[in-house]
Structure 1
Amino acid sequence: MDHASLTTLESMNQALWYNRWTLNKFAAYLHGDILEVGCGIGNFTPALGRYGRVWAFDIDAHAVSQTKKRVKRDASVGLGDIERGSYFFKNKKFSTLVCLNVLEHVSNDKQALANMRQLLVPGGHLILLVPIHASLFGTIDNSIGHFRRYKPQALITEVKHQGFQILSQRKLNLFGAIGWYITGKLLKRTSVNNSYIRLFNLFSPILLPLEDIIAPPFGTSLLLIARRRKRTKQSEAS
């Protein structure tokens, strides 16, 4: 794992209030056998264990090692590649897939979505969090390996095409979008550092709850909750 990505993940692990707030947005869909796709260093993995039996994988061996230290024996963690469809487990289907800030790192994201569908039981849920708005794409995105920031409607269309029904969609973190623009576009920083997170933590408990009252028209991220259809639009048998 490169230095910028590791620094950003370690900094985001300190954004405790934001992480809890984000988790609460999809906690109702966490149940049964849960798979975290691209667990990174395990910022969310331990919390997922409160809702069901957890499996988690990442493409990076160092990330897997860090996650294993955090969860100990409370989750099954190993190497995996969602683009290639290669995982440390075999012939396993899940009730819920959680994919947080991962799809933007995958070159062939359409194939990754197709593989996610195959990992779900019919009717299973996909929790997808991705960065949005190309206008925010800056030096941080580039240095931590983002291929893209998504256009919300284009992603929704593709998720539907891959055999999912959209249950909910919402933009998140208007306040963070301002900070991301300043840090990555104006200041040309290459990672999210602890000083940014300290400032973010100071204002998050005040500003983020406002988004629960009035949905923002803009934000750093799009949260999609989708259900696997029994058949794709191409009438593929489930």
Structure 2
Amino acid sequence: MSRKQPKLVLREACIADVTSGWPTGRFFEAGAGTGHMASLFLDRGFTGVAHDLGASSRDLIRARFKGDEQRMAVVDDVDELSDASFDYLFAFEVLEHIEDDVAVLSRWASKLRPGGRLLVSVPAHQRKFGASDAMVGHVRRYERRQLCDVFERAGFRDIGMVNYGWPITELTRTVSNRLIGSPQQGFDGLSAEERSIRSAQAKPPVITRLLKVAGGNMFVPFTWIQRAFYRTDLGDGLVAWATRR
């Protein structure tokens, strides 16, 4: 089993902090990738439905939860879902891949009951946009006010947000951008949409090699350190939540 990237370790910990008091319920996860984040919520007693733009990703999620379809289903089209039928809407590392983020978030939000909660994560600060962003199909990184505006225009209120990752993701992002200086096998020649789908399924070879040296549990101490900086703008990512009007 490959090691987790440092940013994923810190993001998971931040999401766990933010949602620690949330009651269990039914979620819809958009852009679910391989189903990794969904599995964390299932372990806590939630149930859900997942969708991903890539057919290959949907196949991976179905295989992951085979035999557990009562708790975790997969749909091929968001329009298969009934409106106002979910307690939670999740989208982790998804909005930054979408040109018209307001329109797409509004479409997803229609599946959330009034008063239901939205939870997203996105990369932070456009000034940090680099080679690693372009490689995986990002079209932007977000500032706090920018993300608040997207939420408000999509019909959400009571917005909360924390900035996670400081200080370790500053180092890992810089290293990644320097290492990704040439086309990467499995990513070169792909469209932005294809890069987005591919990034959820596999890491670039150079990152995979790096994780053999450093990754996973060795970064757990930073999950505690980052808590002191949640209210700053120093970290590399944002975790944000809101309520549907």
Q: TM-score range by the shorter chain?
A: 0.7 to 0.9
Note the C-alpha offset of 1:105: 1.2
- Structure 1 segments unaligned to the other structure (5+ residues): 1-9, 81-85, 230-238
* Distance of aligned partners of 1:131 and 1:19 in 2 relative to their CA distance in 1, 3 Å threshold: closer
Note the C-alpha offset of 1:135: 2.2
* Distance of aligned partners of 1:162 and 1:16 in 2 relative to their CA distance in 1, 3 Å threshold: closer
* 3-state SS in 1 of match to 2:57: helix
Identity within the alignment, %: 22
Work out whether 1:37 is the aligned partner of 2:30: yes
Question: Match of 2:124?
Answer: 132
Quick one: which of 175, 193, 201 aligns to 2:216? 201
Question: Match of 1:226?
Answer: 242
Question: Match of 2:142?
Answer: 150
Question: Match of 1:89?
Answer: 81
Quick one: which of 92, 95, 101 aligns to 1:100? 92
Equivalent AA in structure 2 for residue 220 of structure 1: D
Quick one: which of 74, 78, 96 aligns to 2:75? 78
Q: Distance in 1 between matches of 2:39 and 2:65?
A: 6
* Distance of aligned partners of 1:14 and 1:152 in 2 relative to their CA distance in 1, 3 Å threshold: closer
- Give the count of matched residue pairs: 214
Work out whether 1:188 is the aligned partner of 2:180: yes
Note the C-alpha offset of 1:53: 1.7
Equivalent AA in structure 2 for residue 128 of structure 1: V
* 3-state SS in 1 of match to 2:137: coil
CA displacement 1:160-201 (0-9 Å, x = unmatched) = 2322113421001121132112212x3335537234445243
CA contact (8 A) 2:81 2:111 kept: no
Note the C-alpha offset of 1:139: 1.7
CA contact (8 A) 2:7 2:165 kept: no
Question: Match of 1:170?
Answer: 162
Higher relative contact order (CA 8 A, sep 6+): 2
Note the C-alpha offset of 1:218: 1.6
CA displacement 1:28-50 (0-9 Å, x = unmatched) = 33632111111001121212213
Equivalent AA in structure 1 for residue 169 of structure 2: G
* 3-state SS in 2 of match to 1:55: strand
Question: Match of 1:7?
Answer: none
Moved more, 193-202 or 165-174: 193-202
* 3-state SS in 1 of match to 2:75: strand
Question: Match of 1:3?
Answer: none
* Distance of aligned partners of 1:109 and 1:17 in 2 relative to their CA distance in 1, 3 Å threshold: closer
